[in-house]
Amino acid sequence: EYGTEGRVRFIDLQPRPDDLRAEVLQGLGQSPKRLAPKWFYDQTGSRLFDAITQLPEYYPTRTEIGILRRDGEAIAEHLGRGKVLIELGSGSSLKIQILLAALRPRLYVPIDISRDHLIASAQALARRFPGLEIQAVCADYSKPLALPLETDWGERAAFFPGSSIGNFDPPEVRAFLQRVARLLGPGGALLIGVDLIKDRTILEPAYDDAQGVTAAFNLNLLARLNRELGADFDLERFRHHALFNAEASRIEMHLVSTCTQQVQVTGEVFDFTEGEGIHTESSYKYSIQGFQRLARSAGFVCERVWTDEQGWFSVHCLRV
Ligand code: AVI
């Protein structure tokens, strides 16, 4: 589906409400219960995520931006200028703005699951960079992407910031990187932000902030299911829980039932015991070597890595 919103060309491959319903019923039917983190990002969720990135405790955004600002010229040099630049999970398209002047892409392709947020961000970007050609794609990038890419688009580079790679579980992460490699083609470059393993006293507050924004972000998933699927979750009867699982090297977010209860989702009933959780997100933390091993196993060459002074976050340039 094609459309033009202002000066932005828009391609809609958005998941259907039926996809949400089927995945939610499947996830709540499992033991332990699960919901995929991609469903956080309805309009309220996207707004709450933007608020998270501003929190004092949430260091990844600030740290990655620091690296992009400090090393932007070197990064652009490495990635190559004048390419077709695809951004996976572009959100508010804030980070790419740091690199745009240096990269001068011939076309920018932001891909995001949150439709209205994507269109608004792409239009704002078009106003700020009047010469930039933009083709926004609403899609779930965790699934194989059938992008209507024109073959003569030329050399491609991809930008996947924010350590969103950390939200993939081990069984899927390599397959995902292999798909990105295929999308880029030989010689294509991937600039990817990866959060690093650190002490739990830093990690856990980043996912359980004092103002409760992350709690609201997590709970909004249930509010969304009430809104879009007519479910009857009582938000007062679930609480946000975040912990660092050191063995699995991941932050886990859960929504924990505070009592024994039943919840109805599109006619199906789910039982919760007191203390039972729904696992809503994992955010894997890597070592630099561990991530490079993974990237190599997916067919990339690890060309360069940039980190901040504290060694909290890394930005890698990978080549197909
Ligand atoms: C988008 N993603 C990389 C974030 C993360 O840190 O895993 C999502 C998030 N969840 C809670 N806070 C932020």
pLDDT (tens digit per residue) in 120-167: 999 999 999 988 999 999 998 888 876 766 556 678 999 999 999 999
The interface predicted TM-score of the complex, written ipTM, equals: 0.99
Return the residue whose CA atom lies nearest to atom 4 of ligand 1: 164
Query: Average pLDDT for residues 173-179, to the nearest whole number?
Result: 96
Please identify, by atom number, the ligand 1 atom nearest to the C-alpha of residue 60: 6
Return the residue whose CA atom lies nearest to atom 11 of ligand 1: 207
pLDDT for res 3: 62
Please identify, by atom number, the ligand 1 atom nearest to the C-alpha of residue 206: 12
Nearest to 290 by CA among 194, 172, 204, 201: 194
pLDDT for res 5: 62
Separation of 164 CA from ligand 1 center, angstroms?
7
Q: pLDDT tens-digit profile of 203-226?
A: 999 999 999 999 999 999 999 999
Rounded-to-integer distance, Cα 165 and Cα 304, Å:
18
Separation of 283 CA from ligand 1 center, angstroms?
7
pTM to 2 decimals? 0.94
Structure tokens at 70: 């400090």
Lowest model confidence (mean pLDDT) among 47-51, 145-149, 186-190: 145-149
Separation of 123 CA from ligand 1 center, angstroms?
25
Please identify, by atom number, the ligand 1 atom nearest to the C-alpha of residue 89: 1
Separation of 111 CA from ligand 1 center, angstroms?
17
Return the residue whose CA atom lies nearest to atom 2 of ligand 1: 164
User: Predicted confidence band at 91 (pLDDT cuts at 50, 70, 90)?
Assistant: confident
Return the residue whose CA atom lies nearest to atom 3 of ligand 1: 164
- Residues contacting ligand 1 via CB (< 6 Å): 52, 60, 162-164, 166-167, 207, 214, 281, 283
Separation of 48 CA from ligand 1 center, angstroms?
11
Instruction: Say if CB 122 and CB 21 are below 8 A apart.
Output: no
pLDDT higher than threshold 60 for residue 2: no
